Structure 1
Amino acid sequence: MITHRARVALLAASLLLTGCGGGAAASPDHNAPAPATTSAAPGTPAPEAAARTVPRQLPGLGPKTRSAVPAAARQVVVVTGRGPDSPLSEVVLHRRTGTGWQPGPVWPAHNALRGWTDHHRAGDLRTPIGVYGLSDAGGRLPDPGTRLPYDRSTGGFRSPGTGFEGESLAGSFDHVIAIDYNREPGTSPLDWTRPLGAGRGGGIWIHVDHGGPTHGCVSIAERHMKDLLRALDPALHPVVVMGDHASLAR
């Protein structure tokens, strides 16, 4: 009988060959709580939120993290993990206005099985902490209307098998956004270029949630994925800021 530890090791090895958190193509990853009921467009506050004071600073970020956000960035996707070893997180898209940062709805999400790390390594099953560009997108399905460059590939964005909790990975890479960790911006999410070397991992994406932890990516529900793709605008220099609560507060 295969133990849970052995199963996790086998799954990790197989998915490193295809994508998320280890390579190029793709490897699904999540099991998220029920999505938020709001359908407001990303970056657009709900009516009750609009009446509140717009924060001058991105909430939850400490001085070290804020200083890493480029001055030109007017869209910031903040991914906040529940804890350093937790695979559960939340995603909020913020839009900078003349009065402050306007938050969009809160979306439940998954990150890597073992949580977060300041020094990501290939196969460590942790999501890299930091601030990274969001410059390219793609997926198995047609472009849903993003302004980011979109590479459609029915063969490249493969998500075979099952996740860490036995969930199907089908559809995980229907749509993805490449996180510019150890990759060459301006290329397809499937590009294998690793400026920091293969040992530092790669293929870190935002992709469609499949109901369980990921290898290193961040995943959100399909409808939220489409909302995010349609909202992101290269002219606003979007970035993602991600990590657990304590790390982001530094």
Structure 2
Amino acid sequence: MTNNPKIHTSGFEFLQTLKKNNNREWFNDNKTVYQQELVSVEAFADALLALLNSHDVIETPSGKQSLLRIYRDTRFSKDKTPYKTHWSGGFRRAAKYRRGGYYFQLEPGNTFVGGGFWAPVADDVKRIREDIAFDPTPLRKILSAKPFVSTFKTLQGEQLKKTPRGFDADHEAADLLRYKQYLLIRNFSDEEVLSDNFLKEADKTFRAMRPFLDYMSDVLSTDPNGLDV
């Protein structure tokens, strides 16, 4: 199973069956199957990390350690089902000059590869907004580039309903200033995920994020004069 670092049909079949039997008794009875499929996903994550490290520097040491637990935290959720019905993992970029991260989620009918800034701290959001307000041209150039549009279509993430306090409501970049998250997301069909080409396409998606991540890294790690902060 691990000789071919791809997502196998059996892995999706396990998730579909888990979705219909999302309880501890069923999961414990089928834990051997889960562990077998997990090995396959770990192999995929290892292969994806190797490709990612060929064009970026990643702090996450292994594909296995990139994977998020399948067990849900139900303490503060109305949904008390104990297990996630997807495989997922994330890779952290290394050093303070490489900001942002990479993420993948594998789920029948809902697979996507993404990245960016999921929960930026308030100081980071402030710095990003100030840079956009000063000159939105560099970011607009990245977001309108053909490779970006063909891969992600548009920048995604939660937004304020109004222009944030301290910025002119009529600012030319008011649409960008409202963002609270900065996410790049590419969706994949089940057919694409289960194909032999998915690993390559996932890495290609990560590569397409670099102009955006590099722009954000520059904003968050240097001052307006280009000096380290």
Which of the pair has the greater relative contact order for Cα pairs under 8 Å at 6+ separation? Answer: 1
Larger radius of gyration, structure 1 or 2?
Answer: 2
* Greater strand share, structure number: 1
TM-score scaled to structure 1, two decimals? 0.26
TM-score scaled to structure 2, two decimals? 0.28
* Greater helix share, structure number: 2
